[in-house]
Structure 1
Amino acid sequence: MSDTTAPTTDDADGWEWAVVEVFGHRRHAGRIREEERFGTKLLRIDIPIDGDPDAKGWRTHYYGGASIFSLTPCERDAALKVNKPYEPPARLRLAHSVDEDASHDDMPF
């Protein structure tokens, strides 16, 4: 039986995209897979640096199964968006035209 809601992966190496919470205190979004290291199974999560893995690379963390609080599968675009740095909104400036011929002498202030 196939799960149609499963996220797509880039590689055929068992990668999936997910948001992982560790002990309920840390949250990571990136590509995940299970790996065996030091004689035990661990979750490997590769986090795209600044949301741009092609230009800036990945940051890798390993966690034991007991430390995982939650794991939410997601799409690649969602994981990249979570890791983009905050960009302040652009400042908007209203066009202000000054009518230099108009006299404002009748204004009380």
Structure 2
Amino acid sequence: MTETTTDTAPQSFGWVLLELMGHRQRVGMAREEYIGSGKMIRIDIPAGDDGDTVTEFYGTSAIYALRPISEEVARDHWSARDPRPVRPAEYRPASQIEHHDSEDEDEPC
């Protein structure tokens, strides 16, 4: 009698070049993750030399190719690119937004 066991632990892919439909490429450490009832690929992309990372999740149907690469190739790729936004969004609560009332409300603007 042969018993088969299934490994339910998420699979780690290591350093990869992830190619997405829409001609986007991401380089980083990738692994499987379950979000809700669906399997997704999580990629942690190093952002700078200070150890910060940007984490992104992609559905398997959005992936065109997943190519294993070395850490050296990945670091070379990051040296020319930074995945962080050029200007990160800054959100302020509505209570901090200034409102200016005009003194002459009868005049057209």
How does the TM-score come out when normalised to structure 2? 0.59
Query: What CA distance in whole angstroms lies between the structure 2 residues aligned with 1:58 and 1:38?
Result: 23
Q: CA RMSD in A?
A: 1.8
Q: Which amino acid aligns with 1:32?
A: A
Which residue does the alignment assign to 1:69? 64
- In the TM superposition, residue 71 of structure 1 has moved relative to its aligned partner by 0.9
- Whether 1:17 aligns to 2:15 is yes
Identity %: 32
Query: What CA distance in whole angstroms lies between the structure 2 residues aligned with 1:74 and 1:85?
Result: 17
Query: What CA distance in whole angstroms lies between the structure 2 residues aligned with 1:14 and 1:21?
Result: 17
Which residue does the alignment assign to 2:76? 81
Question: Considering only CA atoms, is the larger Rg found in Structure 1 or Structure 2?
Answer: 1
Which residue does the alignment assign to 2:45? 47
Runs of 4+ in 1 over 6 A off after TM superposition: none
Q: Which amino acid aligns with 2:42?
A: R
Which residue does the alignment assign to 2:33? 35
How does the TM-score come out when normalised to structure 1? 0.59
Task: For CA contacts below 8 A with separation 6 or more, give which structure has more relative contact order.
Answer: 1
Q: Note the alpha carbon deviations across 1:44-99, whole angstroms, 9 max, x for none.
A: 0011113x3xx14100110011100111101112112101137xxxxxxxxxxxxx
1:24–1:69 contact (8 Å) kept in structure 2: no
Structure 2 gaps, min length 5: 1-10, 82-109
